[in-house]
Structure 1
Amino acid sequence: MSRSRELRFNAFSMTAPSHNWAGLWSHPRDASINYNTLDYWVEYARIAERGLLDGIFLADVFGVYDVFGGNPNTAVTHGVQLPNAEPALIVSAMALVTKHLGFGITSNLTFEHPYQLARRFSTLDHLTGGRIGWNIVTGYLDSGARGMGFASGRAHDDRYDAAEDFLAAVYKLWEGSWEDDAVRRDRDGRVFTDPAKVHAVRHEGPYYRVDGIHLAEPSPQRTPLLYQAGASKRGRAFAAKHAEAIFLNGQTKPILARTVREIRTAAKELGRDPYDIRLFAGATVIVAPTRAEANDILDDYRRYVDQSGQLALLSGWTGIDFSTYRPDQAVQYVESNAIQSMVENFTLRSEQPVRIGDLATLSRVGARSPFVVGSPQDVADELIAWADETDVDGFNLFRLVMPESLNGFVDLVVPELQSRGVYKTAYRQGTLREKLFPGRDASLHPTHPGANFRRPASPAGNAVAR
């Protein structure tokens, strides 16, 4: 069955030896061991653009996974998202070798200040020609909070209260500090910027304060495209209000479809068009010319997934120490300051108990999201079915063995999707926002709360954005 909406894809990765599948860096054909080199990321970007992917979505985590066994030893030993490099620093190199590919960067606002983060993303938006997005996260690892000098992280809902305050401040900086025509670059008159069109921002919030002029001139998008991944009750409300693209998980179609409905309903109640948000489900895809060959690849990859490392990841994500569980035990619902939506999916929303041992395997259960293995026709059928039955707009493709897994998708699945009329055959022109929302301009949509801070053009006068 075909769709009326075009499917969209991001390559989903991390500047670390392992991402969602612990241990695959040890596969003899995997290049992720070179995660800290520009050559690795330049090739990654070229493959993604060759496949007309919408972007590369770079995950990040601030801290180490030390919930499993009460220490970080397993994560350290098996390269479980550690070492972990700063993702923003590699984007310029990838942008230089591509023309259309977008870049979603995860940055944790909890340990940032709006004034500095605003400049970083404005700079990246300039350097990429308007191809940058910010994945807004609030952090969930206490180890990161301790590393920054705090006793522990903020409580789950408090993190989102702080995020609301942070976003109000950066919206003022991005949208309200510089008018569109403030920068003149007048060589003859020796005037670079008209000071009457640059405005100080004053923000007095419960968590953050700003008093100053945004340090960057207006970038192509001003506010970067806004990603979010909150799927808990509080997270869904935050995402429905602020996000333009949301990353979701759900190990079955009914679980994922329910989350999609809740987000689109919440957006509508806030006065936004529910389809003014692009929803991406995480997906593990293994493809080969035939189904039998794809299953052989799956069997090969499975041997390299590190089960203890996978449980260390899951313990950090959920806040539950799975070292105290037997493999045949089912996950039990526990409230924590970690990723509540993941625990809900394993327990309250699951139709059957999810066993710990199954979560540590390269499998449908372990994937926590669509897990698709087969021929190009099989994969296309399944991805279209997930999109039709859940109402997602596309998928974030989990990194497996690089670069062969991404090459396989680009060379085999993309042509199959194109032949069915559900995938683009060329990039559209414009910024990342314009590509994701055809017919729009580069700025935030008027119904987005950030647009309320936009400053209209004025002939003169210095003012303060409030």
Structure 2
Amino acid sequence: MQKTLTIGMFQSGGVRGSWKIPGRESEPNFTDLDYWITLARKCEAAGVDFLFFADSYGYPTMDGAVIPGAITHNVNFTNIDPQVILSALAAHTEKLGLVTTVSTQVEQPAVVARQYRTLDHLSKGRVGWNIVTGSAQAGSALLFGEPLMAHDDRYRKADDHVELSLKFWEGCWEPDALQRSSITQTWADPNKVHEIHHRGPFFASDGILPTPPGPQVTPTLFQAGASAPGRALAAKYAEAVFLAAESKALAEQIADIRGLAEENGRGRDAVKCLIAGTFRVADSYDAAAAQHRAQIEAISLDQAATHYAYYTGIDLMSLDLDRPIPESAAAGDNGRTNIERFLGPDAPTVRQILEEFRANGVMGKPFLGSPEEIVDQAQAMIEATDADGFLVQPEPDGNHDQFFARVLPEMRRRGLIKDELAGNTLREHFFGVGCTQLPDTHPGAAFRAHNVLV
């Protein structure tokens, strides 16, 4: 049976690449609200499920200092706050899901809970939280004046953070607590608004989230991170997960997440697995491949190394280019996903890693060709991996216009995507009309106000 695919559009909340093109340096861009409103309206008109903003406080560092090339080439040096952007986009869209990243490493649960509950109200239930421990941890630690935390400890902290956030969302307010009664002069029934008592390894609370529930109660939960702890976190809490790798690795990661979700009592289909895909469309495969080669040639190995350092903290240019990453360099506490993908018995050389990052970055190989060829490739990837859809990466100038104009119509013609979005909330887009709140099988359901909260 053919799957109906979920489609999200990726943005980073930062400046797009058009500034590098002579004559286009001053085009409206990342600090111009109209730029984002126009993009969101295009996404909504195209009928995609959601617009996603990645985010991070980090930046590429080496030996406790910023890498100058990261500033020169803009590796995460223009980001603005995506949550502020989303509050504006909510007013200019009606159906489009709006998703952003917030790190469990630097934000407090009560702050995150109130921010997303506010956005859930403002968007009428269309907001999602991408749960991450944060990328470029060394830069983030410098910014916040904190020591760098070990990778697995960051995921223990993330688990504690999400648990407390769920307690705030699900446990503070009973469904009928808010009364707004002028007759009894009662805003809310104090017997139905509850304190949360939480003592975890990283966070504690004896308080109440004072913001009443929005349409979803808990925002739709996403996760990005393909390391073993990341997959475990996704299988426990996420409703959708972002993954980027080649077909064989993707299939293994997705099978692992589905199996872990089943072990957690959630069912194998509780988590939508979305492939981060790059689509380069032209009139033919050869034309698209030539465009891709030209993009690769515009990126130096030094630039590729700076991007790799952003995700991992490893300076590939300081290593032997003709040998794999040595075990000593691979044992750090920065992000693991882009280290582990290049380890193992068939590990590539450092030079090969640089060439791979130069060509594809953190993504797998792009889909290249005419619309028909690209959709053939995308369908084959879905069948080979058991994925549920795509998180579509921007085109070279930062927009998605070619994907909207040429790829989506071919997907729709084949019945691969929805003719219209289900329901009005983001969770309904994923799981069907009426599925506005977490299902009873989700661990967050155990924290609902009629249960004992500890």
The Cα of 1:154 is off from its aligned counterpart by 1.2
Partner residue in 1 for 2:85: 90
Q: Is the 8 A contact 2:322 2:349 kept in 1?
A: no
Distance 1:388 1:14 in 2: 29
TM superposition score normalised by structure 2: 0.92
Q: Which residue of 2 aligns with 1:11?
A: 9
List aligned pairs for 1:177-256, cutoff 5 A.
Answer: 177-250=172-245, 252-256=246-250
Distance in 2 separating the partners of 1:32 and 1:269? 50
Give 1:325 deviation, angstroms.
3.7
TM-superposed CA distance for 1:401, in Å, is 2.7
Looking at structure 1, the residues matched to 26 and 131 of structure 2 have their Cα atoms a distance apart, in angstroms, of: 28
- Are 2:59 and 2:66, in contact at CA under 8 Å, matched by a contact in 1? no
Alignment of 1:37 onto 2:41: no
Alignment of 1:392 onto 2:387: yes
Residue 361 of structure 1 corresponds to 358
Residue 288 (structure 1) aligns with: 282
Alignment check: 8 A CA contact 2:423 2:433 kept: no
Structure 2 alignment gaps of length 5 or more = none
Aligned to 1:134: 129
C-alpha deviation, 1:192, in angstroms: 2.2
| Cα pair distance change 1:184/1:339, threshold 3 Å | same
Q: Distance in 1 between matches of 2:182 and 2:416?
A: 49
Of 58, 62, 65, which residue of structure 2 is paired with 1:67? 62
Quick one: which of 241, 249, 261 aligns to 2:255?
A: 261
Give the partner amino acid of 2:353: I
Instruction: Judge conservation of contact 1:331–1:356 (CA < 8 Å) in 2.
Output: no
Note the C-alpha offset of 1:329: 5.1
Contact 2:194 2:449 in 1 (8 A): no
Q: Which amino acid is the alignment partner of residue 190 of structure 2?
A: P
TM-score (structure 1 length as normaliser):
0.90
Residue in 2 that maps onto 1:342: 338
Secondary structure at 2:278's aligned position in 1? strand
The counterpart of 2:143, out of the listed 139, 143, 147, is 147
Tell me the distance in 2 between the aligned counterparts of 1:343 and 1:98: 39
Measure, in 1, the Cα distance between the counterparts of 2:28 and 2:293: 21
**Cα offset for 1:303?**
4.9
Amino acid at match of 2:212: E
Q: Which moved more, 1:121-130 or 1:433-442?
A: 433-442
State the Cα deviation string for residues 305-343 of structure 1 (Å, max 9, x = none).
454333212112123112214665544551222221221
Change (3 A) 1:205 1:305: same
- 1:275 aligns with 269
User: How do 1:309-348 and structure 2 match up within 5 A?
Assistant: 309-325=303-319, 330-332=324-326, 334-348=330-344
Q: Could you give the per-residue CA deviations for residues 364-396 of structure 1, whole angstroms, max 9, x where no partner exists?
A: xx4532411110001100111111100111111
Contact 1:172/1:465 (<8 A) preserved: yes
Structure 2 contact 371–407 (Cα < 8 Å) conserved: yes
Larger CA deviation: 39-48 vs 345-354: 345-354
User: Partner residue of 1:49?
Assistant: 44
Alignment of 1:97-176 (within 5 A): 97-140=92-135, 141-150=137-146, 152-176=147-171
Residues 311-460 of structure 1 mapped to structure 2, 5 A cutoff: 311-325=305-319, 330-332=324-326, 334-348=330-344, 353=349, 355-363=352-360, 366=361, 368-402=363-397, 405-456=399-450
Structure 1 146/387 Cα, relative in aligned 2: closer, same or farther at 3 Å?
A: same
Once the 2 structures are TM-superposed, how far is the Cα of residue 436 of structure 1 from its aligned partner? 0.3
Amino acid across the alignment from 1:13: Q
Identity of aligned pairs, percent?
35
